[in-house]
Amino acid sequence: MSNYADVVVIADQIKNDLRPITFELLGAATNLAKQLGVKVQAIVMGYELGDIPQTLFHYGADEVFVVDKPELAEYTTLTYRRAALAVLEAMERPPHILLCGATTIGRDLAPRIAAYFETGLTADCTELEIGDYEHKGRADPTKTGLHKDCLYAIRPSFGESLKARILGPWKNPQMATARVGTMIPNEPDTSRTGKIIPVNVNFDESDFRVSVEETVYEVSNTVDLTQAKVIVSGGFGLGTAEGFDVVRDLASAFTDSAVGSSRKAVDAGWIPYAHQVGQTGKTVRPTLYIALGISGAIQHRVGMSNSATIIAVNK
């Protein structure tokens, strides 16, 4: 039996629809847990969650902690923080590693959990690894020595020209949020099952200082960039906004396709920001990525370099 606590993933769901980042995180957690010899645990919070726990088992969770309360039907910071901390406090030991998605919910919730545990948090990671770290004690002599099996949270830095390897081995849980589209999900195994652990939460009146009056969802007739099988992207080399007509026409020739862009094309006002791929846009992993009039700056490549096939036309 491992001396470590487990690897925990906080599931990201909206209206009981698990977001793709949850499956990516479970894939990453599976790899980390195998190296540590521990289990993968998932936390899911919401209301009338139905078969969601079983879906989490299919994608790699060994145990699922469930908080199913009407107060969690809509995401608000304080109620979800209360629920997440109730689950974490119910565990025998704090997780060795705790992962969230770099989504609207994850970016809001993760730092509040980190603050509660007074631990570090690395945001917007693109890779996660396990490794040892020997601290020389220059900054803090009390922490000198070899720290084994640390979480190395890796993310682009210095304008995407370098990869920063960040760790905080002093205290558990070691935490990170991961960019959508950067981790590889497990293939679902519908024969997998596991242990469901219900957790009760006693909310405080102060948890309801914010309420959701109405939720308005964006309606779009295009495929989400992060879910598209084929992406055709245009860049500043197209010359004008009208140049994107060719991009749209080509994208429409494929099924499950979407239109992407470089940052320079967005900055020029030729196409909305929602289409931007790269460091300050979306990270994608399509089967086919076609780049038209894109120079290939590292800031763009970091968002699409894991595509299965890349075709670049820049002439």
Do 7-208 and 225-313 agree at the fold level?
Answer: yes
What pTM value is reported for the model? 0.82
Return the pLDDT at 168. Answer: 84
Return the pLDDT at 171. Answer: 85
Return the pLDDT at 158. Answer: 72
CATH value of 225-313 in 1.10.10.10, 3.40.1350.10, 3.30.360.10, 3.40.50.1220 = 3.40.50.1220
Per residue in 262-298, is it b (16+ CB within 10 Å) or e — as a string?
A: bbbbbeeebbeebbbbbbebbbbbbebbbbbbbeebe
Give the tens place of pLDDT for each residue, 99-113.
999 999 999 999 999
Residues found in the chain: 315
Return the pLDDT at 176. Answer: 97
- Residues 28, 153 contacting (CB under 8 angstroms): no
Calculate the dihedral angle through the C-alpha atoms of 203, 209, 210, 212, rounding to the nearest 10 degrees.
70
- Residues 122, 176 contacting (CB under 8 angstroms): yes
Nearest to 189 by CA among 60, 63, 62, 53: 60
Q: What's the CATH fold of domain 7-208?
A: Rossmann fold (3.40.50)
Low-confidence ranges of the chain (pLDDT < 50): 1
Cα 104 to Cα 13, 73, 91, 108, distances in angstroms: 11, 16, 26, 6
Residue holding tokens 């969650």? Answer: 49
For the chain, which residues make up each domain, given as ranges?
7-208, 225-313
C-alpha–C-alpha distance, residues 174 and 95, integer Å: 8
Return the pLDDT at 1. Answer: 40
Cα 143 to Cα 20, 139, 158, 170, 198, distances in angstroms: 38, 9, 28, 8, 38
